[in-house]
Structure 1
Amino acid sequence: MLDPRKLHLLRELARRGTIAAVAEAVTFTPSAVSQQLSALEREAGVPLLERTGRRVSLTPAGRLLVEHAQAVLEQLDRASAALAAVRGGPSGPLRIGAFPTAVRVLLPAALAALAAEHPGLEPMVAEIDPADVSAALGAGELDVALVHEYDFVPPVTDDSVGVEPLFAEPMYLTNHPSLAAAREEAWITGKPGTLCHAMAVRACQAAGFEPRVRHHVDDFDAVLAFVAAGQGVALVPHLAAAAPPPGVTLTRLPLERRTLAAFRRGHDDHPAIHAAITAFRAATPPCPQPAEPPGQRPRTAATSAWEPAESWS
């Protein structure tokens, strides 16, 4: 009989690549992870791992078992969700991950709603980049997370993660009427490896140029302060652009950032996850419709009057 706990470790090894990374994620020692995987090989009756010095990779049988392990673990999550529903209202710890803008703008109201509707829940929030959410959900570090997707950037969640769309918001360019007009400017983007950085670079590339990035800043309030100080231009989402500082104007672009709730597949009907998603929806601030026709742009802020734009290149 194959042990689901060992299958979980094998899946994490396929996702993370090294035993040390698996051990860190599940708070085991590397030796304990190796022992569990060796025991799984004995249970399976075939080699699952290839060891070359200190490196370990999956054999074809190991990769096949990972595919089945995903289905097994998902079904166990569904069983857990069904039992939780039988027990009654959601209660206990609820580990929530979110990107910084959502932590600041959306989560305070969502947590207040959860406390009022489900006092037995104990929400615990951790900031996390969306690129790290799949691994954190798979390792059991999070129960639900807020993630975002941008135009020009593929989704970062993998097949082990289910998502529920929440809302879309437009993107704005600072202090220029179009991307093409900002070709020669210095740029402020997120750190390399983040979705914000990839979105800004690819949006510029789609407009026909490679941005000259001067600063890497993840916090959008700091980004807008840098823009106000003459340190460059940037792309910012609507939720971060409600009150730009003096000296910063915002041009709406035909680009979107979409926010979704993410959770392990099999937890779709878990009462705590359902309660969290309901609270996220209720706390969603109003956003202008993303499909605003090209040819218009705001004068000074995301909420100000609209006037014709020169170009949407």
Structure 2
Amino acid sequence: MLDVRRLRLLRDLAQHGTIAAVAAAHTYTPSAVSQQLAALEREAGVALLARTGRTVALTPAGRTLVAHAEEVLAALERAGSALAAARTGLSGPLRIGAFPTAMRTLLPPALVRLAAAHPALELSVHELDPAVVPQMLRDAALDVALVHDYDLVPIEPDPALRTAPLRDETIFIAAPGRRDLAGCRDEPWILASPGTLCHTMTVRACEAAGYTPRVRHHADDFVTVLTFVAAGQGVALVPELAAVDVPAGVVLTPLPTRRRTRLAFRAGAERHPAVEAFAEALGSAAGAEEVPG
């Protein structure tokens, strides 16, 4: 019988690429991860890893087992969802991840509605950049999350996760006057922190217009970004959800590129009653037409 916890480690090795990264994700030592994977190989009766020096790669049998591991983990999620649905009333923790603009706009009314309908749910919200959410969902550190992607920075498919569309947004150039991207070539730019989706999106949008943005400031809070634009410190790209209380002197010019907000959860959890309840409350708050289930 194959151990599910070891299957999860093998799946994560396929995701992260190194034993050290898997160990860091699970707060294990690399030696402990190696021992567990060696035990899984003994259970499987076939080589799952090809070791060359310090590097490790999945064998064809290892890749096959990873595909089946995703099915097993999704089936366990479905089983847990079915058991939760058999209980009377919703109770217990619901750990929610969300990006900052959703925290200020979409989430509060959804939480009010959810708490009123299901007072025994223990709601816990964590503000996160969407780039870190997939691993937290895979590790069950979150139950559900709001994520976003852009036309220029699409979400990479992840067999361990599922998403449901919530809303699309316009992206604006925030500048002292009406501008297009080409007209901002010589302007100083205000970008989000490197490694975030917003940073990558802005860089790619400028590159598509034929130049690399000249970065003067880094700021992740869009209220700060708009304040800096009003102070003449540069130009920036701002999504629709953040385009509220725009300071005097800042003009927002819409771009054809879009930002898409999605609800993310583990494969197999789409029928979990807490996930469905959150999706319903969130969909109502966002005016969404499509929710999981």
- TM-score clears 0.5: yes
Cross-structure match for 1:60: 60
Q: Does 1:130 align with 2:130?
A: yes
Query: TM-score by structure 1 length?
Result: 0.85
SS in 1 for 2:195: coil
Q: CA RMSD in A?
A: 1.8
Q: Matched residues in 2 for 1:68 and 1:36: separation? A: 18
Is the 8 Å Cα contact of residues 89 and 271 (structure 1) preserved in structure 2?
no
State the identity as a percent: 62
Looking at structure 2, the residues matched to 54 and 109 of structure 1 have their Cα atoms a distance apart, in angstroms, of: 51
Q: Which residue of 1 aligns with 2:5?
A: 5
Instruction: Give 3-state SS (helix, strand or coil) of 2:280's partner.
Output: helix
Query: In the alignment, residue 200 of structure 1 is paired with which amino acid?
Result: T
Aligned length: 286
Distance 1:202 1:239 in 2: 21
Query: 2:190 is matched with which residue?
Result: 188
Provide Cα deviations, 1:26-85, integer angstroms capped at 9, x if missing partner.
343434323222211110011222334444332222122111111111111111111111
Q: Which residue of 2 aligns with 1:73?
A: 73
Counterparts of 1:265-276 in structure 2, within 5 Å, are 265-276=267-278
Match of residue 167 from structure 1: 167
Runs of 4+ that moved beyond 6 A: none
Distance of 1:88 and 1:23 partners within structure 2: 38
Match of 1:15? 15
| Cα separation, 1, equivalents of 2:33 and 2:135 | 17
Distance 1:56 1:166 in 2: 39
Q: Give SS of 2:216's match.
A: strand
5+ unaligned residues in a row in structure 1: which ranges?
287-313
What's the CA shift for 1:243? 0.7
> Which residue number corresponds to residue 90 of structure 2?
90
Q: Measure, in 1, the Cα distance between the counterparts of 2:171 and 2:69.
A: 40
**SS of 2:63's equivalent?**
helix
Matched, 1:209 2:211: yes
User: Quick check: 1:246 aligned with 2:248?
Assistant: yes
User: TM-score, with normalisation over the residues of structure 2?
Assistant: 0.91
- SS of the counterpart of 2:244? coil
Tell me how far 1:206 sits from its aligned partner: 2.4
Distance in 1 separating the partners of 2:56 and 2:228: 45
Q: Which amino acid letter does the alignment assign opposite residue 91 of structure 2? A: S
| Contact preservation (8 Å) 2:70, 2:159 | no
